[in-house]
Amino acid sequence: MSSLFAILMADSEALPSLAGDPVAVEALLRAVFGVVVDEAIQKGTSASQKVCEWKEPEELKQLLDLELRSQGESQEQILERCRAVIRYSVKTGHPRFFNQLFSGLDPHALAGRIITESLNTSQYTYEIAPVFVLMEEEVLRKLRALVGWSSGDGIFCPGGSISNMYAVNLARYQRYPDCKQRGLRTLPPLALFTSKECHYSIQKGAAFLGLGTDSVRVVKADERGKMVPEDLERQIGMAEAEGAVPFLVSATSGTTVLGAFDPLEAIADVCQRHGLWLHVDAAWGGSVLLSQTHRHLLDGIQRADSVAWNPHKLLAAGLQCSALLLQDTSNLLKRCHGSQASYLFQQDKFYDVALDTGDKVVQCGRRVDCLKLWLMWKAQGDQGLERRIDQAFALARYLVEEIKKREGLELVMEPEFVNVCFWFVPPSLRGKQDSPDYHERLSKVAPMLKERMVKEGSMMIGYQPHGTRGNFFRVVVANPALTCADMDFLLNELERLGQDL
């Protein structure tokens, strides 16, 4: 027992963890928060500052001094490290960050995230997350109402890819409840259908779930990126003819690159005819349901069996906030995923254990993802969020009109959403469309400009090849703080960066 007492005696010394010293804890956290406000929130969202400060990996490693050592460091050193981490990180809340399907810093959502982190609980039982169990239910109810459902189920998942996997798993379980116990071996080959424009998580999910990527039948998309319902019908027939059993169609509301919305009514008709589960991957486009003006893009979504919707994207709720919504009222989620672990989901608790969400999911601990969205929604109301969506559409339209006015900018197509895809044609290539190496040379422009903008830190825009098209820019107009001036800046800056090409 002597070594035991030595350790416990040491208790009374100030632990480097600051544990038990509330004054020191508060001082540290206030100091770090000050750094966060100055560096990440103020400078990080200011157009007069860089969106990123590029460093080569080897140099950045040196600057960050990442190694974890035997000895701890002083508070001063820790604060210096916080500054460096923020300094060299990309500012995704910056008005020049157009690179991803998320951008901007919503202060209420951030406030919700800070509270979430300070409370640090898991969403699995009412016992340790009473507020968040009820709140998640209410937020999911609200999202379902926007889909058009007065009842149903749902859950927040760690990202849209996992929401999509959940949908696939639920659909196969509904058709073959035995597969939970017996697996896929005894089943006929299954087939699911999605368009070639769908998110890659459908393929990844099929592999992870043991179905294999071959089970994903790729349906044609039209020139605007929308699934062709006639080809869906044809593919279903082909799969059946090959002896496979169709069970699910995954339609997309807001594709990743073009921002296309699949025709849900026509797809729902096909699903209904064939008795197939309709999943709508609305991770990106779901938030459009808040806009009376634009929600027609998702007409038919109320006919889906499941919807994946990521408010961390267009609503800027913060990574991650991904809801899987279900029309089901038969407790399918719990039946499909439950395992009744007796140490966590005791049945002799003193409250209604139906409140415990843990057996709806395949995880155990689950982060609280509802508070950030709820708090933002309380602050904004439906109206504030609707206005944000409408403004994003309007700014994307403004950008499109400006692109049309300028020389050297060529739209890939008229967008129907806030993804604006276009080529920057540098001076040396203008009017040379008929030159045999035009497309090859044009496809090298976006990567070069990307390198320049990142190294200057002036803005970030994504680019990609797409089908037979060479690299083009995809500007995502999502940051709620954007104005027309930011759109003008973007185009002026591209011209400046590319003037010598």
Positions 413 through 442 that interact with a copy of itself (CB under 8 A): none
R_g (Cα) of the chain, nearest Å: 25
Stretches 148-156, 217-225, 356-364, 422-430: which one binds a copy of itself (CB under 8 A)?
A: 356-364
Per DSSP, the three-state class of 324 is strand
The residues in 266-285 that bind a copy of itself, with binding defined as CB under 8 A, are none
- Pair type for strands 153-157 and 190-195: unpaired
Minimum distance from CB of 82 to a copy of itself (Å)? 6
Stretches 21-29, 226-234, 300-308, 433-441: which one binds a copy of itself (CB under 8 A)?
A: 21-29
Stretches 25-33, 148-156, 403-411, 433-441: which one binds a copy of itself (CB under 8 A)?
A: 25-33
Number of residues that bind a copy of itself (CB under 8 A): 183
| Residues 268, 274, 275, 279, Cα dihedral to 10° | -40
Give φ, ψ of 245 to 5 degrees.
-110, 105
- Judged by CB under 8 A, which of 50, 217, 312, 360 binds a copy of itself? 312
Beta-strand (E) ranges in 159-238? 190-195, 216-219
The residues in 246-265 that bind a copy of itself, with binding defined as CB under 8 A, are 256-257
Q: Closer CB to a copy of itself, residue 180 or residue 220?
A: 180
The yes or no reply on residue 14 touching a copy of itself (CB under 8 A) is no
Q: Both ends of the chain: CA-CA distance in Å?
A: 76
Amino acid of residue 240: E
The residues in 316-355 that bind a copy of itself, with binding defined as CB under 8 A, are 318-320, 337, 339, 341-344, 346, 348-352, 355
Minimum distance from CB of 431 to a copy of itself (Å)? 25
- Pair type for strands 277-281 and 306-309: parallel
The residues in 453-492 that bind a copy of itself, with binding defined as CB under 8 A, are 454, 460, 462-466, 471, 474, 479-481, 483-484
Q: What is the DSSP string of 422-470?
A: EEE--GGGTT-TTSTTHHHHHHTHHHHHHHHHHHHTS-EEEEEEETTEE
- Judged by CB under 8 A, which of 149, 277, 377, 423 binds a copy of itself? 377
Minimum distance from CB of 434 to a copy of itself (Å)? 25
Residues in the chain: 501
Residue 61 makes CB contacts below 8 A (sequence gap 6+) with none
The yes or no reply on residue 245 touching a copy of itself (CB under 8 A) is no
Instruction: Please give the C-alpha separations between residue 352 and each of 34, 343, 349, 355, in angstroms, as whole numbers.
Output: 43, 16, 7, 6
Q: Closer CB to a copy of itself, residue 348 or residue 434?
A: 348
Per DSSP, the three-state class of 279 is strand
Q: Closer CB to a copy of itself, residue 15 or residue 234?
A: 15
- Judged by CB under 8 A, which of 194, 195, 201, 458 binds a copy of itself? 201
The yes or no reply on residue 26 touching a copy of itself (CB under 8 A) is yes
- Judged by CB under 8 A, which of 366, 399, 424, 429 binds a copy of itself? 366
The yes or no reply on residue 88 touching a copy of itself (CB under 8 A) is yes
Instruction: Please state, in angstroms and rounded to a whole number, the distance separating the CA atoms of residues 390 and 384.
Output: 10
The yes or no reply on residue 213 touching a copy of itself (CB under 8 A) is yes
Minimum distance from CB of 101 to a copy of itself (Å)? 9
Instruction: Please give the C-alpha separations between residue 279 and each of 36, 116, 338, 343, 494, in angstroms, as whole numbers.
Output: 40, 30, 21, 34, 39
Q: Closer CB to a copy of itself, residue 208 or residue 438?
A: 208
Instruction: Please state, in angstroms and rounded to a whole number, the distance separating the CA atoms of residues 356 and 126.
Output: 5
Stretches 138-146, 229-237, 270-278, 426-434: which one binds a copy of itself (CB under 8 A)?
A: 138-146
Minimum distance from CB of 315 to a copy of itself (Å)? 10
Q: Which residue, among 329, 330, 335, 338, has the nearest Cα to 363 in the 3D structure?
A: 338
